[in-house]
Each structure stands twice: as structure tokens, then as C-alpha cells.
Amino acid sequence: MSEILIKVRGSHSVEVPPERGVVHAEVTFDGPAPEPVMELLRHGVQQVRDELARLDHEGAVDRFVVQRARTSAERPWHKDGKQLPLVHRGAVGLWVEFTDFDELAVWIGRSAAGEGLTVSGVSWQLTKESRLKAEREVRQEAVRQAKVRAQDYADALDLGPVSVRSINDVGVSRERPLAMQASAPVADMAYSAPELAFDPDDITIYAEVEAEFTAGS
């Protein structure tokens, strides 16, 4: 009997709970003159930085990044078509990687009580170690599933055990749970936080391979 070529696909997925909540936010102030705006911006950023440093020290935050200040000025238009006086604006972007989702909820809840800080969204992630471990697991299981499928075809034709000829990695995908999108004024940290809770969905990690096996030589 001549050798038979069997082409199959194998896939596997796992659901992994998120380990990090990454908050994307921006501190912004505007006004008619640049100096007061920059003073408000410096005070607002320092307030946020002090609070994040405390959370970092307590272990609720893994790391945070405060970007450089950006300034701009423009003349807005009135709804009647008249150009209004110059408005100066200062902004500082930041992102915060939370390990404690309860503290994340409290921090964002406090954001709604003040002014200056806008939270644009939260993305849910795994640590690098967990992600690599999960990707390795799904890749290996996808290959095993491909071999099982090929052997099923070979058994149906009484061809005996299969031997692998080639494997093509279609890829690994990571489907993150939907991010929270928000635009709310934040945070004089002295205010009490409204009740918030985050219970993100698990992250799906999926792998697929194309494989060729031979049987029946």
C-alpha cells in the first residue's frame, strides 16, 4: 500500500483570569492664561503621583508612568459663529498597572468626586510569565489534537499509526475582555469613593496548527 498523506488542523484554548488592570488616564486643566493652568496642572499631577506612590508601596500597584506635560492654545468658536478668547490647555497622560482590582475600583471611584483627571479606559492583562505559560500550553495541546484527529482518519481506513510530516503554526491569539471606557472628572483623593467593583471576564488564549501526517506505508 502506498503512503497516505493526511492533512488536519488542531486547536486548543484556555481561559485565564486577568492579573493586571491597566488604567489609562489624563490630567488636564485649561484657562485664559498659561501660568495658572500650569500651576493647576502641577498640583493635580503631584496629587495623583502621591496617591499612586502610596498604592505602589502598599502593593496594590505594580508600576505607573507619568508622561511629560503637553501644552496647547486655541480660540474656540461660539455657537453663533463668533471666535472666543484664547484658551490655554495643559495635559499630562499617565497609565497605572493595578494588581489589586478592589483598589483599582476605589481609585477610579474617587475620580468621580473631583476635577482634572479623566479616566479613558481599563485594559485587562496577564503577567508576561503567565501569558507565555498559557501560550505554550495551548500550542502543545493544539499539536496533540491534530495528531488525534489524524489518527482517527487513519484508524477509519485501517492504516496503522500516523507519523508527523510537517506542522505549520497558524498562530496564538489573546482575546482580552472588553475594556471599561469612561470619561469622568477625577480625584481629589480626600473624597470618599462611590461604590464600584470590577469583575472582568477571563482572557481567552487560543492556538491553531495545520499539520500533515503520513500513514500506511
DSSP for 126-165, written as a single string: --HHHHHHHHHHHHHHHHHHHHHHHHHHHHHTT----EEE
Q: Which of 74-83, 146-155, 194-203 has the highest mean pLDDT?
A: 146-155
DSSP code for 77: B
Q: How confident is the model at residue 172 (pLDDT cuts 50, 70, 90)?
A: confident
The pLDDT assigned to 196 comes to: 58
User: What would the mean pLDDT of 30-42 be, rounded to a whole number?
Assistant: 94
Look up the pTM and report it: 0.75
Does position 217 have pLDDT exceeding 90, yes or no?
Answer: no
Q: From CA 52, how far away is CA 60, in angstroms rounded?
A: 9
Query: Measured on CA atoms in the order 183, 179, 23, 54, is the torsion positive or negative?
Result: positive
The pLDDT assigned to 112 comes to: 61
Angle in degrees, CA 7, 9, 14, rounded to 5:
160
User: What would the mean pLDDT of 64-69 be, rounded to a whole number?
Assistant: 94
User: What would the mean pLDDT of 55-82 be, rounded to a whole number?
Assistant: 90
Give the CATH number of domain 20-77+85-125+180-191: 3.30.70
Does position 83 have pLDDT exceeding 90, yes or no?
Answer: no
Cβ contacts of 182 within 8 Å, gap of 6 or more = 108, 119, 120, 121
The pLDDT assigned to 62 comes to: 95
Domain ranges of the chain: 20-77+85-125+180-191
Q: What is the mean pLDDT of the chain?
A: 86
The pLDDT assigned to 185 comes to: 39
**Cell numbers found for residue 56:** 505602589
Name the nearest CA neighbour of 46 among 121, 122, 116: 116
**Cell numbers found for residue 4:** 497516505
User: What would the mean pLDDT of 70-82 be, rounded to a whole number?
Assistant: 83
Q: From CA 115, how far away is CA 133, in angstroms rounded?
A: 42
Q: How confident is the model at residue 176 (pLDDT cuts 50, 70, 90)?
A: low
User: What would the mean pLDDT of 172-199 be, rounded to a whole number?
Assistant: 50
Cβ contacts of 45 within 8 Å, gap of 6 or more = 27, 66, 69, 92
Q: From CA 75, how far away is CA 88, in angstroms rounded?
A: 9
**Cell numbers found for residue 203:** 482572557
